Amino acid sequence: MNPLLLTDGYKLGHKEQYPQGTTKVYSNWTPRKSRIKGIDSVVFFGLQYFIKEYLITQFNDEFFSQPKAAVVAEYKKYVDNYLGVNYDISHIEALHDLGYLPIEIKALPEGVEVPIRTPMFTIVNTLPEFFWITNYLETLLSNIIWQPCTSATIAKQYKTILTKFALETDKENTDFINWQGHDFSMRGMSGIESSMLSGMGHALSFTGSDTFPVLASLEKYYKADITKEIVIGSVHATEHSVMCAGSKEGEIETFKHLLQTYPTGILSIVSDTWDLWKVLTIYLPKLKEEILNRDGKLVIRPDSGNPVDIICGCEHDDPIIKKGVIELLWDEFGGSINSQGYKVLHPKIGAIYGDSITIDRAVQICERLKSKGFASTNVVLGIGSFTYQYNTRDTFGFAMKATYVEIHGEGRAIFKDPITDDGTKKSAKGLIQLFEKDGKIHFKDECTLLEEKEGLLTPVFKNGDLLHELSLQDIRTNISKSTKDVNYEKIAVITDI
């Protein structure tokens, strides 16, 4: 589709609505408010995808390289019938004649954590007659970029929590954290692109993922090389259809068949198709020899119920349910006591829970395991659409707002500050400069033209060309830098189920 059609309908008349003599519109992209407890900064991610896929590929393939008469006529047909007018398409013709997008984007490096209310990048037209294109792109830009930023931020919060508890209960096994948060979200996302964008955001903090298209996406858009680095990975795992096909009466035979089919490596078996507790207390003891003799690890996967109670146990008349999955596995397979005094399951057995996991529940699982004397690293959490789809652009209040215009050659700082708002929608004013102070990113608005050219924002796209490209490794390095100085002992543990 012609990417000029990928916009809100109200954008179509804005060219005429700006003051006559307007030659420049300068805008920024900013997270304005956090609606998640404990998060006050947002990971910047997704702009390079947007530039490569939309500003370059789709604009070149679906607009600039198409016959001018055909592409302009199509645009006019839709707008005329949509608005009921005889629409003047001379500016669209002029853009096609130009042959590239006359805009410049200056941005922070992707993977950097940006404080709430601090701009991540700016966008401005580079030719005066195309002042209208800056905010015409707002809809498309906003539609694409809020989700990878949001998912990358939430993934980082999961990793921060898992790191905190691993350091407290199993500090010699922190490398495992990269696999402890596993992306299960694809089937529940709003579309394929949504799955890829969110999944790439998850992959900045974790290597465990079942969102398979992320491999190709990170190779295409972020210079990943799956033959030379760990991008994402997973293991052999069953689903309920496999277990059902073997029948309820033959469930233990299905387990035996799977153990024989996969004599090596990690094998994950969904275990609550009928009776999870029977699997844990009857089937696994009978299969103990086969499990311990495997060259690999068997992972038990519950898939229903309250994840905190299922994994950790709860107050209950039944002593089996009271113990929960991890303690029952310990009772049967044992393990070791680490240097911090916490129980670590036998390396041939483990558990993963991937249904309805949230940040709050992740905290409670780790807290409850710790209180029972178990290391938090005894369980992997499958982070699905219950985490990544239950968000909107407003989760972090993302918005692109114009803050500076030039009219008849005169620069003018502009801003919004609704009297009816709580301050969330108040925008910056004028030109913007970002700078670092005390290890944090700050911004100054109402800058001079000279000041705007300085600071942390650097050009990444101009006049149809990508100027600077980051790799997945670059971005993972950026995101890891922000965790080095974290005082995990002082992280507030907030739970709200």
**What are 185-200's pLDDT values in tens digits?**
999 999 999 999 999 9
> Strand, coil or helix: what is 183?
strand
CATH architecture of 153-388: Alpha-Beta Barrel (3.20)
- For residue 494, pLDDT over 90 is answered with no
The total number of residues written for the chain in this structure: 497
**Over the stretch 280-331, which tens digit does the pLDDT of each residue have?**
999 999 999 999 999 999 999 999 999 999 999 999 999 999 999 999 999 9
The pLDDT confidence band at residue 493, using thresholds 50, 70 and 90, is: low
pLDDT bracket for residue 421 (50, 70, 90): confident
The whole-angstrom separation of Cα 1 and Cα 61 is 9
Q: 485 pLDDT band (50/70/90 cuts)?
A: low
pLDDT above 70: residue 17: yes
Domain range summary for the chain, segments of one domain joined by +: 3-148+399-483, 153-388
Would you say residue 104 has pLDDT above 50?
yes
- Residues 493, 497: Cα–Cα separation, whole Å: 13
Q: Do domains 3-148+399-483 and 153-388 have the same CATH topology?
A: no
The CA-to-CA distance between both ends of the chain, in Å, stands at 43
pLDDT tens column, 138-185: 999 999 999 999 999 999 999 999 999 999 999 999 999 999 999 999
Neighbours of 69 (CB within 10 A): 10
Beta-carbon contacts of 90 under 8 Å, excluding residues fewer than 6 positions away, are none
| 27: three-class secondary structure by DSSP | strand
- Single-letter amino acid code for the residue at 19: P
pLDDT of the residue at 253: 97
d(CA 248, CA 440): 57
Distances (CA, A) of 41 to 114, 153, 361: 5, 8, 21
Give me the pLDDT at residue 483, please. 64
Taking a C-beta distance cutoff of 8 angstroms, is the pair 355, 118 a contact?
A: no
* C-alpha dist (Å) from residue 86 to 7, 8, 20, 81, 89: 19, 19, 21, 9, 9
pLDDT at 405 over 90: yes
> How far is the C-alpha of 101 from the C-alpha of 141, rounded, in Å?
14
Instruction: List pLDDT tens digits, range 223-247.
Output: 999 999 999 999 999 999 999 999 9
Chain segment 447-475, per-residue pLDDT in tens: 999 999 999 999 999 999 999 999 999 99
For residue 214, the cross-strand partners are none
Q: Which residues contact 9 (CB under 8 A, 6 or more apart)?
A: 82, 83
Architecture of the domain defined by 3-148+399-483: Alpha-Beta Barrel (3.20)
Summarize the confidence of residues 17-43 as an average pLDDT: 96
How many whole angstroms separate alpha carbon 331 and alpha carbon 185? 32
pLDDT for residue 73: 97
Predicted local distance difference test score (pLDDT) of residue 490: 59
Q: Pick from 101, 405, 267, 467: which is nearest to 256 by CA?
A: 267
Tokens coding 252:
């233990």
Query: Quick one: DSSP state of residue 108?
Result: P
pLDDT at site 221 = 98
Q: Which pair of tokens denotes residue 176?
A: 């495992």
Residue 495, pLDDT > 60, answer no
Contact 241, 224 (CB under 8 A): no
pTM of the model: 0.95
Question: What's the pLDDT band for 481 if we cut at 50, 70, 90?
Answer: confident
